[in-house]
Structures are given as C-alpha cells and as structure tokens.
Chains A and B, each alone.
Chain A
Amino acid sequence: MIDFINFYLIPGLTLGSIYALGAVGISMIFGILRFAHFAHGDLMTVGAYAALTAVWVLGIPALAAIPIAIVFTCLVALMADRLFYKPLRDLPTIYTVIASFGVALMLRSLVQTFWGTDSEVYMTGFQKPVVLFDIFRVATRHLQIIIATALLTLALHLFLSRTQMGKSMRAVADDPALASVAGLDTERVIRWTWIIGAGLAAIAGVFVGLDTDVHTNLGWNLLLPMFAAALLGGIGKPLGAIAGGLIIGVAEEICTYPVFGESLISPSYKTAIAFVIMVLILIFRPQGLFKGRLM
C-alpha cells in the first residue's frame, strides 16, 4: 500500500497536475472560441524552452523562471491568435482547427530551429526526496508540482467566480450572441482566454521539464491526454478539466500497478489509457463527466 502511494499515486497526481494545467486552456478555448486547439501542447513546449533559456542565461532555478516562461508563451499565443486564428473567426470553426494544427507544427519547427533537438534538463544532480511520517517518500519536485497545481486551481476558481473577467468568460462560453447583446467586449474576453490558457500551459511545460526533461515533442506528446482530460471534465468547464487531468494521470499510473505480480497493461501503452477514456466519454457522455455547476 505504501509502495502504491509512493510509486504510483504520487507520480500519477504529478502527471495528472500537468495534464490538468494544460487541459484548462484547451477547455476554455473550446468553450469560448469554440475550437479544439491543436497547438496547445506546443505552447507548453514553448514555455518549457523559454524557461530553459532563462535558466541558462540568468542562472536562476526553473521555478523562478516560470514568470518569464508565462510572459513569453502568452505573447506567442496572442500573436498566433492575431495572425492565424482571428482572420478565420467568421468561418466555420473547423478552419481554425486546421490553422491550429499548422501553428502546432510551426511552433515546433521554430523550437527545433532555435533550440535544437537534443533533450535538455533544468538541473543535474540528485534531489533528496521528502520523507513524510517516516513512510512516504515523495520527490521534492512532485510535491512542488502538486501543491502549485492545487494553488492554481484555487486561484482559477476565485477568478472565474469572483472577478468581472471571469464571469464575462463564462458568459461568452454560455452564449456568445447574448454576451455581445449585453455589451461585453468579446475580443477582450478572447485575449484573456489566451493569456490564462497559455500562462497555465507554460507552467505545465516547465513542470514537465522539472519532472523529466525538456525536448521538442514534450507538448505534442501530451496533447492526447489533455484533450481527453478536457472532454472528461466537460468542454468549457475549466475546473472540470482539472479534475479530468488528475483522473487521467492517476489512471495511467495505476494501470501499470502490479496487482497480481504483473501490471495491468504494459507501461509502454500508458498513453492508450487516455485514448480509451476519451473514446468511452465520446460514446457515453460527450457532455463530460460532471453535471451541474462545476465551472
């Protein structure tokens, strides 16, 4: 049981936190701009590399580089929206999906061009795990990632339920036509959607780098579980997406847990769990797992 918590649950929650932060943006963009953003994983990659550069140039730890990563990634996202998504706003949204597919490849090739294709790490050396109650051994970085995600979830909840922009976002997600009749500035709401989505993606990207390493396919490889998390949580419900991300992260780790001496599935098929969950959701509950007022 202790082994289960140390080696499966905690890593699962860590992975889930990363999925969750990425899925929030996907869910919000789907809710407000009404398209599946295929470049979201690559925004994470951009964030991870922006932080890597800050670590190299300024010699600061990766966590301290997060604000730089956020700012850079937000600028990239706002620029992509202005140049490639906004001109297609009046067309059926599937054209924007195609455009975002192109943006995903462009972002990745830019990263590959400027940073190269080698895997990098934020820091070398061994971090001593944190020991809790003498039995739980948790890697420091896992603890940092899980706590940070919990705090960000709380902040997101307060933002969506208490602030004017948060309520405006939910209103636009509910009914864009009525939102403009009520005089809300839709373009401003869209800008903030990008800022929050890209900001959280940047944080998630840095977390991936902290947890494993930084490489150019980092974000793209996570796109499938993040889509699955957003669908699981119910499109347009950012807090649902967080729950969805955690569920998928934990499910992926648990499925490799040796129940009867052998793991349920081969670890190389971990990503398939996300796909299976996605397919089940699409078949049985396309509206997402949660009912009611989860935002």
Chain B
Amino acid sequence: MDSLHLGSYTFSSRLILGTGKFSSSSVMLEAIKASGTGLVTVALRRFNREQPEDDLFTPLSAIPGITLMPNTSGASTAAEAVQAARISRELSGSPFIKVEIHPNPQHLMPDPIETYEASKILAKEGFLVMPYIPADPVLAKRLEEAGCASVMPLGSAIGSGQGLATAEMLRIIIRESNIPVIVDAGLRSPSEAALAMEMGCGAVLVNSAVAVAGDPPAMAEAFAEAVAAGRKAFRAGIMQKSGMAVATSPLTAFLGPAS
C-alpha cells in the first residue's frame, strides 16, 4: 500500500484540503467528503466555541476518519504561532500543527526566520510540525534537522492560482528531502496537482482552487483523481524527455573505434 506517513499517522489519500474561503460549512463538508482526504487544515482563528454557526472546528471534527491539522494563520511572529499551536492542541487534541507565519497580511508570504524558530520549539514539544515555507532548499533541510514531520513549500503565492512557479526549487527540495514534501498554495487546476505529484511530492494541499470553483465537491474529486494519477505515474517511472542534441561531427572520433 502506497501511503503517506506523517509521524505515526498513515494516510491513503495524498490530497490535503484547506477549509477557508468556502461559501458555507455545508459546501466545505461536501467537498471534503468528495475528495476522500484524511487530513484537513483549519485555522485556529476560525474556531468559535461561542457561536456554533460561525465555527469550523466542530463540524470538521464530526466527520469520521478525518484528522485535523490546525494552522496558525494570522500569526506574524514565532511567539504568536507557538502560543496558537498550544491552544490548538488543547482545543482539538490533534498533534499536527501547520506552522503558518505571514507577517505581511497583504501578500501572505511565509516568514522563513520566524517559521524556523517556531518549528524548532514545537517539534521539541512533541508536535507533528508541518511548516508552510518559501520554496527554499536550505530552509527545508534546516527544518528537517529541527524535527519537522514534513515541509510545505509554496508552489506560488496563496490564492494566486499561479501553479508551480517555484518548480526548479521544488525539484531540489524533493531530491534532497528525507521527509515528505507537500506543495502548499498556488495550485489552480488538477493538472498542476498531478504535475507536483509526478515530480515526487509526498502530497499536495489545496484550498482556494476547490473553495472558489463553480462546483467545489466535483472539483475536490477531480483533484483527488489527479493526485492519485500523478503519484501512480511517479511510482511507475516516467520516461525521459527526448531532444538531447547529438553533434553532427562526432566529438569523440579521436578515440578511434571501440575495441
């Protein structure tokens, strides 16, 4: 069985869903079910214990077979993220934490320095740390050394739908990593998710592309199929591209005929 392993957890689906931006909780829940995912992320700031109608946590935790990965979106420093992670664990009981620290609320790019600091602390506290990071191969290795369960480099800016703009860096991160690499943010269409999986990603995380689609549950299903297809292709071994140039006057003629 080709499963995704994170800490002691095993997931048969390699699609992770985000829960923001949906038009209603019921559409979100339908999309999650249609996707067949086993792992979803939810922002601590969208936990609302005082108002059931506004709360994302309770309906999510009621779905059987779903593991929740709270995230610290809204935090702008390591200290805030660490505090948010502890509150999340207390409230949700989940050991997963997606460390998401974006000090600039406009472009929402992750802060590599604060993310590293927070991840180091949280890994020591026993969390399964899943840091959302810029596609930086050195940072990815530093986070692996710090004890993270995975790294989550961005394909492109959150909500941008620009796809795998960071493909070259992602290839290096994947090649060098001993922990699952999960592409998070920027994916617009299932074909891009398939491509990420063909490159050797452990999983992809999708939110906007599903939440703002015309039919979110159908799009969730399409992503699930694309992710499964991409993974299968990666495992099967993808043929090399042709187009290698051969010089018209042989470069090695001086060697004489092979004996």
Q: Indicate whether A and B interact.
A: no
Residues of A within 8 A of B (CB): none
